[in-house]
């Protein structure tokens, strides 16, 4: 309420100052005709000023700012995949592949994909439901990785640039949730079947989002950073024959 009163007070002061200046002009020159000519001319220009400044220039600046923010977001996403995301895929993809090769068939060879092919792949991913069933040894290995990268997750969650990227933020929270669930167990080697199924469900949720974000990230690298895309192809976790060495 105080903010509203401040706005009203300021508006009244500005209007009063304008009226006082016009009145001073009249006292000095005694020419109301001249005053009204310029007043109407100034008022007539206001709509054009709104169009030029508020709409056109503001949109141009907003578009440039949005492009800059998206670039920063993609840099943060790149840090995630460099520090943790690719390692997670390397750990989880073999578990998924135990009973289903759908992801490998879809994502093993993306070298020649164009924009349309990336879009088709994202549609296809919606039809593939991960069915990872983690063994206790898998959960122990995953817990070790997430404990090691805990600081990376915390730093990423603190990054304000990610507030505008809901899908990636959801990925971070789903991975963080898996880390919290695993970290809360006293002994991952001694779990009930029900608890293993529950943890596997959490892993499946994170894995599904992770794969989608990986595809989007690869599409970004292909367009903007060919040299990084080349390295990502040679470390593709869905390509069993991928080799980091250039042959």
- Spatial neighbors of 62 by CB under 8 A, at least 6 apart, are none
221 to 26, 62, 139, 232, 246: CA distances (angstroms): 66, 24, 31, 9, 18
pLDDT at 215: 93
pLDDT at 172: 93
pLDDT at 39: 75
Mean of all residue pLDDT scores within the chain: 84
Q: Which of 11-25, 43-57, 84-98, 194-208 has the lowest mean pLDDT?
A: 43-57
Name the strand (E) or helix (H) holding 128.
Answer: none
% of the chain beyond a pLDDT of 90: 35
pLDDT at 203: 94
> Smallest Cα–Cα separation from 218: which of 138, 109, 55?
109
Instruction: Please check whether residue 142 is in contact with residue 161, taking contact to mean a CB–CB distance below 8 angstroms.
Output: no
At 194, the pLDDT band (50, 70, 90 cuts) reads very high
Q: Which residue has the higher pLDDT, 89 or 7?
A: 89
φ, ψ (nearest 5 deg) of residue 165: -115, 85
pLDDT at 81: 92
- How many residues does this entry show for the chain? 247
Residue 77 burial by Cβ neighbours in a 10 Å radius (0-12, 13-18, 19+): buried
Which residue blocks in the chain are alpha helix, DSSP H? 2-29, 32-49, 58-80, 86-97, 102-107, 115-126, 136-148, 150-157, 166-184, 193-224, 226-234
Query: CA 241 to CA 22: how far, in whole Å?
Result: 81
Q: Which of 28-42, 46-60, 158-172 has the lowest mean pLDDT?
A: 46-60
Mean pLDDT (whole number) for 174-182: 95
Q: Is the pLDDT at 98 greater than 60, yes or no?
A: no
pLDDT at 48: 72
Mean pLDDT (whole number) for 110-117: 90
Query: CA 70 to CA 59: how far, in whole Å?
Result: 16
pLDDT at 99: 52
pLDDT tens sequence across 213-228: 999 999 999 988 999 9
* Cβ atoms within 10 Å of 1's Cβ, excluding its own: 5
């Amino acid at each position: 309420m105080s903010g509203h009163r401040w706005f009203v007070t300021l508006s009244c002061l500005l209007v009063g100052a304008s009226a006082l200046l016009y009145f001073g002009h009249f006292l000095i020159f005694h020419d109301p005709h001249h005053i009204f000519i310029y007043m109407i001319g100034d008022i007539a220009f206001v709509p054009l000023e709104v169009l030029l400044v508020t709409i056109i220039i503001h949109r141009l600046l907003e578009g440039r700012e949005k492009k800059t923010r998206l670039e920063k977001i993609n840099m943060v996403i790149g840090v995630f995949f460099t520090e943790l995301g690719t390692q997670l895929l390397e750990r989880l993809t073999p578990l998924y592949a135990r009973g289903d090769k759908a992801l490998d068939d879809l994502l093993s060879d993306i070298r020649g994909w164009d924009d349309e092919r990336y879009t088709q792949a994202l549609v296809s991913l919606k039809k593939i439901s991960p069915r990872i069933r983690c063994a206790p040894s898998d959960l122990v290995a995953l817990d070790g990785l997430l404990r090691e990268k805990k600081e990376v997750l915390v730093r990423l969650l603190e990054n304000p640039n990610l507030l505008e990227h809901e899908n990636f933020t959801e990925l971070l929270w789903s991975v963080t949730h898996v880390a919290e669930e695993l970290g809360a167990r006293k002994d991952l080697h001694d779990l009930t079947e029900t608890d293993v199924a529950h943890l596997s469900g959490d892993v499946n949720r994170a894995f599904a989002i992770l794969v989608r974000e990986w595809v989007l990230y690869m599409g970004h690298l292909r367009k903007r950073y060919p040299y990084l895309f080349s390295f990502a192809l040679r470390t593709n976790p869905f390509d069993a024959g991928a080799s980091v060495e250039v042959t």
